[in-house]
Structure 1
């Protein structure tokens, strides 16, 4: 396999795809990348953008008590709970949300995991700035927030949770664009009971062109990771 420059990755827009199919695709790409590194070669980097049917996911260190109703009631509503290997607590994925999965070899970019997460956050901050929204980080909490330091006003617009092995990443971020925020009432999002969630549509008072937002975000990814 030819050597890839640090800035190079393959982008795949998976469209509306069920969560399990996307998870299996991620795991396959992740395993291939790790195996390629173990063989002494340079793996290919891949960025997946997905939109899922309603599901909840719980990270490896998440707390079951942050699910606010019995799992059987979830099933009755057609919502499945997945226990997955990323960091972070519980979150929701569903229609109107861009769920991004970078399978990146961080050694090719010359960065560690903390810097990688900061770049993910910056990509979202740069994107929502296009819409006049000021995204910020919150101490001790990954993701992108609006008004993070104002009690009663802090609300998350993008959750981030990743896994890495041999400096290869999987899982990633979930950005609320036109998301039905009522689903977040089923959980303490990301383990917080005293903070809210929001979306671009919620903040602007109107639905957004979902395809255009994806294109804008991918362009920002290419710029920010290409600058390394």
Structure 2
């Protein structure tokens, strides 16, 4: 069967708000074509990005989980804060964290939001095992990827929060690679009180992990799990 094609773009380091608006533009474009029954040549987009220090909270997030995130404190730690349109509670994004934003027309895949979330988890689980031989796990009733769910205190390495409308997705996953984990101490990540947050750097006990190498490997895992091929955004044909 012919593979589905996604436009791929690595945005490098970019502010959260600017990226959010860009995502929304791509998301709205797909929806408008669906509403008008216009044929769409590709199955969607996949973006990589690395944000400056920022806290984001989902539309149903609880303010009690903000902890120290006040305007004065944000300025002190050089961070920003945004209420977003994704699901999930408060989380942190920042340097050394790989963000993946799939903006997919699920008509090309399947129309099952829970299956989609599980496949996003599977991308990270596949990446961790294939490239580092470490076992990422799911936690019952929670979204994301963890270590030692049943043996010892669980540690979360990847957060996932999405929005889906008319079977089009946006937002995605945040994988801690070389992330400064101190920024998680100022919140209750994803509203879970008893969790620890970890990074690939911490788990492998290394000074630094090649961010570019991680990007290549996560991209390959996404291709394999979702059975897609990527084409550069520069080759976009349908605008």
Shorter-chain-normalised TM-score: which range? over 0.9
Q: How does 1:1-228 map to 2 (within 5 A)?
A: 7-43=4-40, 44=42, 45-72=44-71, 73-129=73-129, 130-150=131-151, 153-206=153-206, 207-226=208-227
Shift of 1:6: 5.9
- The match for 2:231 is none
Question: TM-score with structure 1 length normalisation?
Answer: 0.94
Contact 2:50/2:97 (8 A) holds in 1: yes
Quickly say closer, same or farther: Cα 1:36–1:187, change in 2 above 3 A: same
Post-superposition, which runs of at least 4 consecutive aligned residues in structure 1 deviate over 6 A? none
Contact 1:51/1:96 (8 A) holds in 2: yes
Quickly say closer, same or farther: Cα 1:70–1:198, change in 2 above 3 A: closer
Shift of 1:111: 3.8
Gaps of 5+ in 2: 229-239
Contact 2:95/2:179 (8 A) holds in 1: yes
Shift of 1:167: 0.1
Deviations 1:112-146 (A, max 9, x none): 11111111000000111121211011111000010
Contact 1:71/1:81 (8 A) holds in 2: no
Determine the C-alpha separation between the residues in 2 that align with 1:165 and 1:60. 14
Deviations 1:162-195 (A, max 9, x none): 0000000000000001101011001111111111
Contact 2:97/2:177 (8 A) holds in 1: yes
Shift of 1:10: 0.9
Determine the C-alpha separation between the residues in 2 that align with 1:94 and 1:141. 22
Determine the C-alpha separation between the residues in 1 that align with 2:3 and 2:109. 5
Quickly say closer, same or farther: Cα 1:109–1:6, change in 2 above 3 A: farther
Point out which structure has higher relative CO (alpha carbons under 8 A, 6+ apart).
Answer: 2
Question: TM-score with structure 2 length normalisation?
Answer: 0.89
SS in 2 for 1:135: coil
